[in-house]
Structure 1
Amino acid sequence: MTYIKTEDAVGQVLCHDITQIIPGVKKGPVFKKGHIIQEEDIPVLLSVGKEHLYVWEKHEGILHEDDAAAILRDICMGNSSEMSASQPSEGKIEITAAIDGLLKINSEKLLAVNSLGQMMIATIHGNTAVKKGDKLAGTRIIPLVIEEEKMKKARELAGDKPLLSILPFKPAKVGIVVTGSEIAKGLIEDAFTPVLEKKLSEYDTQILGQQLTGDDKEKITNAVLDFARKGADIILCTGGMSVDPDDRTPGAIKDTGAEIISYGSPVLPGAMFLLAYLNHNEKRIPLMGLPGCVMYAGRTVFDLVLPRILTGEVLTAADLAAYGEGGLCLGCKPCHYPNCGFGK
């Protein structure tokens, strides 16, 4: 750093905070460390008694923290219209969602950039459903200045695609197949469908209807295929998902000819969840078998999978297996989901 006259400091970078004290009114920094001095700042600096300043000396190949922070911003979001960013301040930039959708993160490359040191990108968890205005990430350069070469390395590690993206939710028509002989016979009221209606109402979905099939395996199969013919984008089968002999839903789903991706998930609540895909008229329809916990538990595996399905993402057995770490819901009262570790 170097010591120069205040009048000569335009364009220079402050090495320390400049404090302004107005008795009984204010005491605090009028300019913070790292501030780039502007022409209009000179009278203010002189008014607080700063006739000389310590500033950083500019060197070839060295970037100011705000310039470097802008590089981290570009690494995170590129030119995406799905996100917006704050102006750099003290090497920090905040990134927020500009649309509703599902946040996706390239975790491997995020780790690579953060492992470089002297810079950081902190995000919320990937595969989180976000709304416009939600905070997604914050970036910061740790020192006041940083080598340009180091930021080039960060760009190289990040690659050509932004580390963050938001997949918009797609409108979907949903068919609901309600199993259980006691419901079909009218002995008890269907309590499952109202729960699904509430969860689906969080997204742009249309319920095509519900079919009460009882526990008849053939009727369950036919109901699924009927919804496929009616143009369903997603089909949900409620109940009958355990290994008891009279629970017929998994077998009925298999008889539709659907590809079973996984019967079972490392999530509690939701261990007996089934995910399959039914090919019908060149359309790949997600087909889910929902265990009883979806009806009575606040949040379950269904809440983790549904937003991903609604983006058009095709899930694999490996995607479901990855939910094991974080897949234990603690049943907090009140529920904080998605601002918690469930599924993350």
Structure 2
Amino acid sequence: MIFAELPLTECDGAILAHSQRVGADMFRKGRVLTEADIAALRMAGLAHVTVAKLEADDVAENAAAQQLAEALAAGDPHLTLDPAFAGRVNIHAASAGVLALDVAAIDALNALDEAVTLATLPPFAAMVPGQMAATIKIIPYAVPRALLDRALARIRAASCPLLRLHPYRKRRIALIQTELPGLKSSVLEKTERVTGERLAAMGQAAPIATRCAHNSDALAAAIAGARAAQAEMILIIGASAISDRRDVIPAAITHEGGAVDHFGMPVDPGNLLLLAHIDGNTAASSSPSPSSPSSVSPAARARSSSMAATGCCSACWRGSRLAPPTSAPWASAVCWPKSRAARSRARRAPQHPPRRRSPPSCSQPAAPAAWEATSCCSISAASRSWPMFWTPSPRRALPRSSW
């Protein structure tokens, strides 16, 4: 591609490199100049303009971006493509689900050449229909055919698609809340309502809701009842924090023949999330995790539990998006507190990073396999409060987000 300031006599069919006012009109950059355009430029007193001229082996930016986007989507019915414009094609989610990425392959594609860039949401981002999942952008006005062929070959040679959307799978879900004296019923009712709303956002039916006393025998009976109702996933909201694998909630799970997969998550508050399974079905328990449980009111403990009820850790509660793998369809997509007072407390929390800068650290980049199987192990920067896109390669096409 030729990029230079040329006399108007050599600009027929060239691409205008910079926007140029011509009388009352504005010729935008990227405009392909015609004879009439050149005459208008000459009438405006210009003799030279900066243009790009494609050579025989060049592919125009829009055509290159379209080919790359089509290769990336690879016929995935859950992804849609925008028409190419200004060298960019945006890729959107066609249905609600979880975005899966081949980060190493994306790194390799972005490292191929500075002319080709792919920016995405973080891995395991919770998607809603119409949300942008990725954008492919050709930086110059054209790329050599050989470079485009190498990029396409790299995409097609990957062992799995660079990006794909896994729609949520419907599950029969039970919600069990344990109670202690002094815990208001209105708090439990709100927990049930909020949990139902979050599940509905992912296409799930209202959960089978039950309550029981906060002791292992009563909880074991409630778990048995949920299993008898053929629940495929059981969400347990504890009235008191889990302190040990032998505490009330894990004891009730093991009493019913279950096994604890993981207790504790690298988030604060929200450390005390517990994940377990019984005969292949998932049980997730959330308890509040204050530094001093005795100093927190029952209502505050229940509120913290309710926000983690669908897999939402504290970072999710404070305004980000939590994104589990597809085997955890109960995870919430957006969990920003609804009340003004709760939002105010979240903003004032000292451990929360400033909004619009970087999301909280919800997890380690390399999560244990047990987490990836059943839990919410990744945090997404896709909140409206933070920059939308994150690119795993060192060269970032859009604002950086730190995990």
Give the TM-score of the pair, scaled to structure 2. 0.65
Map of 1:310 onto structure 2: 329
Whole-Å Cα distance in 1 between the matches of residues 377 and 254 of structure 2? 25
2:278 counterpart residue number: 278
In structure 1, what is the equivalent of residue 174 of structure 2? Answer: 175
Alignment of 1:19-30 (within 5 A): 19-23=20-24, 26=25, 28-30=26-28
Q: Relative to 1, partners in 2 of residues 1:205 and 1:193: Cα closer, same or farther, differing over 3 Å?
A: farther
**How far apart are the structure 1 equivalents of 2:176 and 2:275?**
15
SS at match of 2:278: strand
Alignment partners' CA distance in 1, 2:39 and 2:131: 41
Q: For the Cα contact (< 8 Å) 1:68–1:146, is it kept in 2?
A: yes
Shift of 1:114: 0.9
* Larger radius of gyration between Structure 1 and Structure 2: 1
- Aligned sequence identity (%): 17
Question: 5+ unaligned residues in a row in structure 1: which ranges?
Answer: none
Aligned amino acid, residue 292 of structure 1:
P
> Distance between the aligned counterparts of 1:321 and 1:268, measured in 2?
20
Q: How does 1:150-189 map to 2 (within 5 A)?
A: 150-158=147-155, 159=157, 161-182=160-181, 188-189=184-185
Deviations along 1:271-330, whole A, 9 cap, x unmatched?
A: 111111222xxxx32211111358424955822366741189xx9425389988869x9x
| Residue 64 (structure 1) shift | 2.2
- Cα distance, 1:84 vs structure 2: 2.3
Instruction: Specify the alignment match of 1:108 in structure 2.
Output: 104
What is the CA distance between 1:166 and its match in structure 2?
A: 1.8
Match among 294, 303, 315 for residue 296 of structure 1:
303
The partner residue of 1:120 within 117, 121, 131 is: 117
Given candidates 82, 87, 90, the residue that maps to 1:86 is: 82
5+ residue gaps in structure 2?
290-300, 313-321, 332-367, 391-400
User: Which shows bigger deviation, 269-278 or 162-171?
Assistant: 162-171
Greater length-normalized contact order (CA 8 Å, ≥ 6 residues apart): 2
Change (3 A) 1:215 1:16: closer
Aligned residues: 319
Matched-pair contact (CA < 8 Å) for 1:86–1:94: yes
Considering fraction of residues, name the structure with more strand.
1
Amino acid at match of 1:226: G
Over 3 Å counting, the alpha-carbon distance change for 1:42 and 1:106 in structure 2 is: same
Output the aligned Cα RMSD. Answer: 4.1
CA distance in 1, matches of 2:389, 2:59: 37
What are the within-5 Å matches in structure 2 for residues 27-106 of structure 1?
A: 28-30=26-28, 32-33=29-30, 35-36=31-32, 41-49=34-42, 56-60=53-57, 62-106=58-102
In the alignment, the residues of structure 1 paired with residue 154 and residue 101 of structure 2 have an alpha-carbon distance, to the nearest angstrom, of 14
Supply the distance in 2 between the matched residues of 1:340 and 1:91 (Cα, whole angstroms): 18
- The range that moved more, 302-311 or 247-256, is 302-311
In the alignment, the residues of structure 1 paired with residue 402 and residue 48 of structure 2 have an alpha-carbon distance, to the nearest angstrom, of 55
- For residues 163 and 340 of structure 1, the distance between their equivalents in structure 2, rounded to whole angstroms, comes to 16
**Deviations 1:105-157, CA, capped at 9 Å, x for gaps:** 22121111111122111122222222222222222122333232322332333
**Conserved 8 A contact 2:93-2:128:** yes
CA contact (8 A) 1:69 1:141 kept: yes
Superposition map of 1:231-242 within 5 A: 231-239=230-238, 240-242=240-242
Give the superposition deviation at 1:244.
Answer: 6.5
1:49 partner amino acid: R
Measured in 1, the distance between the counterparts of 2:277 and 2:112 equals: 41
Task: Tell me, yes or no, if structure 1 residue 226 matches structure 2 residue 225.
Answer: yes
1:251 correspondence with 2:251? yes
Measured after TM superposition, the shift of residue 5 of structure 1 is: 8.1
